[in-house]
Amino acid sequence: MRIAFRAAAVLATVLVTAGPVAAFDDYVGTRSLSMGGALRAAAAGDSGPLLNPSGMPLLRSYTVEAAYARSTRRDSNFFHGSIVDSTSGLNLAGGLYYTYQGNAPDDLPKGQGHEVGMALGLPLGEYVSMGTTVKYLRLSGDQALNGHSGGTTFDVGTTIRPLRGVSLGVVGTNLYNLTNDEVPRTIGYGVAFTPVAELILAVDGRTMLDAWQRTGNKGTSVMGGGEFFWARKFAFRLGGGYDDFNRHGYLSAGLSMISEIGALDVGARRDLFSATNDPITIVAAGFRLFVPQP
């Protein structure tokens, strides 16, 4: 564990000092993407650093993940990698991640960047956990809107489990304002319901604290979805929601093939309607490695 975290820390340092860096609103992870963007109340594993760091202690595991995603919004490509370890004897969960995005829109300058983040989560008793994610980023080209090329910001979240099978999540994202649409300041909140071990249902909302600079919109996005595990070898996901950035409604779906050593994940989102007549499609694929613990 120490070797893995030191290696990731060295990688993060190299990336931070190597050139243009960024954070990316479209990328929420393959699992969350397939569930409409929800999971802030059940953000275990790689979903923790991306959605709500207080969710990492929910599942005791050591997971290494790599993923690729493509979005037609600004013709974007994403490459993502993470290490999340929640097996500590002190019940402290930690995660390190890196995401690259490159944009090549037809009517705007090209942009590229990197995001490096570190997340910590700690359970406070049986029913409450807290967490924070600190991220460093810089932006270039299309992503450096109005000359704001990044910096350091952070998320703070909490997860509450008042009843068996029910969890509530609240998270403030990018709370230090970097004045850029790539890292919007938001309040996210959600509820997750697990009526049986094989089924998770989640509904989330996300409210903007500042208006989008590109559109001038300031409102709330709503998202929800479900995940069903079959025979401990497959997971099926469906979801949908409303995206306030471009005022789009959308549907999403995904599938995982799972073994004892890892999982292969695929997912996609497609707009149903668009106020701007520019429907968005996002597709993602990833691989998770489950590191055995002694």
Measure the CA–CA gap between 39 and 260, rounded to whole angstroms: 23
Measure the CA–CA gap between 231 and 251, rounded to whole angstroms: 26
> Per the structure block, which two tokens stand in for 173?
């994202």
pLDDT at 25: 65
Q: What is the pLDDT of residues 240-290, one digit of tens each?
A: 999 888 788 999 999 999 999 999 999 999 998 766 667 889 999 999 999
Q: What is the pLDDT of residues 128-187, one digit of tens each?
A: 999 999 999 887 876 766 677 889 999 999 999 999 999 999 999 999 998 887 788 999
> Per the structure block, which two tokens stand in for 19?
């050139």
CA 12 to chain CA centroid, Å, is 18
SS3 string, 219-263, reads CEEEEEEEEEEECCCEEEEEEEEEECCCCEEEEEEEEEEECCCEE
Is pTM beyond 0.85? Reply is yes
Question: Which one, of 48, 50, 68, lies nearest residue 58 by Cα?
Answer: 48
Residue range of the domain that includes 229:
2-290
176 C-beta neighbours (distance < 10 Å), count: 12
Number of structural domains (the chain) is 1
DSSP string, 113-158: EEEEEEEEEEE-SSSEEEEEEEEEEEEEETTSGGG--EEEEEEEEE
The CATH number of the domain where 187 resides is what? 2.40.160.60
> Per the structure block, which two tokens stand in for 133?
């994610």
Question: Quick check: 23 pLDDT over 70?
Answer: no
